[in-house]
Copies of this chain bind each other. A is one copy, B any other.
Amino acid sequence: MSKIKVSSTNYANKQLLNEECNEVYAANIIGGQWSLAICCALINGKMRFGELRKILPTITERMLTLQLRRLEDNGILKRTVYAEVPPRVEYELTGIGQQLEPIIRALETWGQAHKNLHL
């Protein structure tokens, strides 16, 4: 995750799919390696950066920051900075972010069913 190259075929293809298929558009928004896990963690309420890091023990700080920024840019979560030292930053789902919950639950159920099939 970093800068995208707007001149690439890949970029053009993504744009095209995003325009034509809202489900692909949605999948792209929640589609980073850690995005869904982060959303899932925030379903139960706000959390600090460090708490998220504990819940996702193997994520690097860089990745956590990047994914949080992307989710924030996409309006999925809200970031609140408290002017304290040491700093305190809280993350919480926005309205549209909370509307992901039924989708997450459905994916969870489907994933479980799929796993059972492939035992």
Residues of A at under 8 Å CB distance from B?
A: 9-10, 12-14, 16-17, 21-27, 29-31, 33-34, 36-37, 40, 58-59, 74-75, 96, 99-100, 102-115, 117-118
- With A58-B12, A75-B117 known to touch, is A103 a contact of B96 (CB < 8 Å)? no
Evaluate contact between A108 and B75: CB separation under 8 angstroms: no
Evaluate contact between B96 and A23: CB separation under 8 angstroms: no
Evaluate contact between A96 and B111: CB separation under 8 angstroms: no
Q: Which of B10, B99, B107 has a CB less than 8 Å from the CB of A26? A: B107
Evaluate contact between B103 and A26: CB separation under 8 angstroms: no
Q: How far is the CA of A59 from the CA of B105 in the complex (A)?
A: 31
Evaluate contact between A110 and B114: CB separation under 8 angstroms: no
User: For A14, what are the chain B residues with a Cβ–Cβ distance below 8 Å?
Assistant: 33
Q: How far is the CA of A109 from the CA of B96 in the complex (A)?
A: 11
User: For A23, what are the chain B residues with a Cβ–Cβ distance below 8 Å?
Assistant: 36, 40, 104-105, 107-108, 111
Evaluate contact between B99 and A22: CB separation under 8 angstroms: no
Evaluate contact between B117 and A16: CB separation under 8 angstroms: no
